[in-house]
Amino acid sequence: MIELVIPLIIGILAGTFTGLIPGIHINLVAILALSLVFISTLPTTTLLIFITAMAITHTFIDFIPAIFLGAPDEDTALGILPGHEFLLNGQGHQALKLTLLGSTIAITSLFLVVPIFIFLIPKTYPFIQRMMGFLLIWIVIFLIYNEKKSKIKAMLIFFLAGFVGLATLNLDIKQPLLPLLTGLFGTSTIVHSIKSRTIVPEQEIKKLSLNKKELIKPTLATIFVSPICSFLPGLGSSQAAIIGSEITGKLNREQFLILLGSINTLVMSISFVTLFLVQKSRTGAAFAVSQITQLSAINLTTIMITILISASIAIPTSLAISKLTAKYIHKISYIKISILILIFLTIIIIYFTGLLGLTVLTITTFVGLTCIEFQTRRGLLMGAILIPTIIYYLPF
Amino acid sequence: MMKKILFILSITGILFLIFLSQTTAQMQTGAIKSIQNSNNKITIYLENNSIELIIFDESFLNLKKGDTIKFQGRQDSYKGKEQIIVGKIFLLHHNNS
């Protein structure tokens, strides 16, 4: 029993730590964890529990730096704008509670979605795989067409991100996604916050008041969209949230935060089922699992139980950390925190990817800032992953 | 004004990255000791070299033991093992034996 509890606790602690580090995505953490030599000596179940607990906890916690510090990873990038609005109105803790509510919906929906998923995917996947490149192109057209402000600017940003992605992935650097995504989503947002001289007001800590009817749209969007994005490569939670909000109709900012929270957690959870069904890893955590073992039904059951337990511990943990942050955030200079985070991210990039990585970080920060100045959706920057993926999947 | 400056910096930066990607990685040569095929990837082991070559493109399936190849790629490490994720690969000599 103890050999099951220890990896669970260590996984939750690791997920809390990685979730709180600004700009660091769980994909990177999972892959880095695998590169540790001693990992290969541990039993399979221990590793499965550790990786699942870390990944699920991370999806709950990673909204804290996104909302309070404006420093997201690519899955929480879209949460910055509504989250930041809440923060500037003294309601940062409320924003986090909404994303947690979403994550809770995701865990509940999981048991509805998984049986349908297990029934449908083996029947449809061979066709989907053949059409993957075209499906992704259709989704890109959908994302650009639904840009409200300027479709030309949206297209420009998407292709700019695509070219920077293609160039970076062809460079001779380890972990090319680290500087690529940190620049596009993390440092660009932080530089913009410093430039805007953001002052954070005192935060209110009160009960969440939400009409139950307001939960219907984000719940439906989560159930329909998360499974699709769980097996399409290059699509993350942010894109799923855009597609989901278009399918269900206009969402208010509270509903959008709930949707982001739920999709972030559900995409991660379903990625393990996708791995079991079609042996494809669509998240870093699923990839890490695929490198450890070929998933059996018993492994999948272990993962599902770990998801449930980790979620039930991650919710009160997130609430406690958010409450503490909300209490003190106005007393600290936001600009000083932002500069510290910027320095921290730069050191991480230089350590893992060297000067070439730093060059990528600088250029992708310019691209991210261009997207902010153009006032287009940040999700379009995922062109950096989508364009190389489309090129890979097209049959010519 | 800011928009234009950022846009120009982005374009210039991307062109610089494309230039770097074409020039930084050096071509290497080696003879194939063995080839393994699994999960949509090909792993090539070279003679007199401990680094594994990883190829995610099935069109290279016609390579065989003893062939001499010229390759270029990105260095990576997995479970403590050094790997090269191959970007470009050319066949120099076929092993006719």
Q: Where are the domains of chain A?
A: 2-393
User: Quick one: tokens of A226?
Assistant: 């998360």
Distance between alpha carbon B66 and the CA centroid of its chain, in Å? 19
Per-residue pLDDT of chain A (396 residues), as tens digits, is 777 889 899 999 989 988 887 666 666 676 667 666 566 677 888 888 998 999 899 988 988 888 887 655 555 555 556 777 788 888 889 999 999 998 888 888 888 888 888 888 888 878 877 888 888 888 888 878 877 778 899 999 999 999 999 999 888 787 788 888 888 877 888 888 788 776 778 888 888 777 777 778 878 877 777 777 766 766 666 667 777 777 777 777 888 888 888 888 888 888 888 888 877 777 778 877 887 778 888 989 999 999 999 999 999 999 999 999 999 888 888 788 888 888 988 998 898 888 999 999 999 999 999 998 888 877 788 888 888 888 877 766
Phi, psi of B60 (to 5 degrees): -90, 15
Give the pLDDT score at A3. Answer: 77
- Whether B13 sits inside 8 A of A373 (CB atoms) is no
Q: Please, which residues have CB within 8 angstroms of residue A255's CB and are 6 or more apart in sequence? A: A214, A217, A218
A221, A128, A107, A242 alpha-carbon torsion, rounded to 10°: -30
Return d(Cα A300, Cα A115) in angstroms, integer. Answer: 13
Quick check: A75 and A25 in contact, CB under 8 A?
A: yes
Interface mutation target, options B10, B12, B57, B78, chain A, most CBs of A under 10 Å? B10
Contact with chain B for residue A172, Cβ under 8 A: yes
Q: In the numeric block, which tokens belong to residue A318?
A: 């997130």
- pTM of the predicted protein model: 0.72
Residue of A363, A375, A387 to mutate for B, most B C-beta atoms under 10 A: A363
Work out the pLDDT band at B57, boundaries 50, 70, 90: low
What is d(CA A357, CA A361) in angstroms, rounded to the nearest whole number?
6
d(CA A257, CA A273) in angstroms, rounded, equals 25
Q: Does B17 touch chain A (CB under 8 A)?
A: yes
* CA pair distance A152, A91, nearest whole angstrom: 35
DSSP reduced 3-state for A394:
coil
Chain B contact set for A164 (CB, 8 A): 10, 13-14, 17
Q: What integer pLDDT is reported at residue A73 of this predicted model?
A: 57
CA closest to B19 among chain A residues: A167
Closest CA to A240 of A48, A36, A78: A78
pLDDT reported for residue A75: 57
**Residues comprising chain B, all counted:** 97
Check: CB of residue A58 under 8 Å from CB of residue A66: no
Rounded to whole angstroms, the maximal C-alpha distance in chain A is: 58
**Which CA distances in Å does A202 have to A95, A197, A309, A326, B64?**
15, 16, 34, 8, 68
Query: Would the CB atoms of A373 and B17 count as touching at under 8 Å?
Result: no
The alpha carbon dihedral of A32, A38, A40, A44 has a sign of negative
Of A57, A61, A180, A315, residue with least CA distance to B13: A180
Q: Does the model's ipTM exceed the 0.90 cut?
A: no
Check if the beta carbon of residue A109 is closer than 8 Å to that of residue A262: yes
| Choice between A311 and B64, residue whose per-residue pLDDT is larger | A311
Could A172 and B25 be called an inter-chain contact, meaning their C-beta atoms sit closer than 8 Å? Answer: yes
Query: Do residue A163 and residue B14 have CB atoms under 8 angstroms apart?
Result: yes
Domains of chain B are 28-93 (2.40.50.140)
Token pair for residue A297?
């039904």
Structure tokens at A186: 């993390």
Specify whether the CB–CB gap between A48 and A89 falls below 8 A.
no
CB contact under 8 A, B10 and A173: no
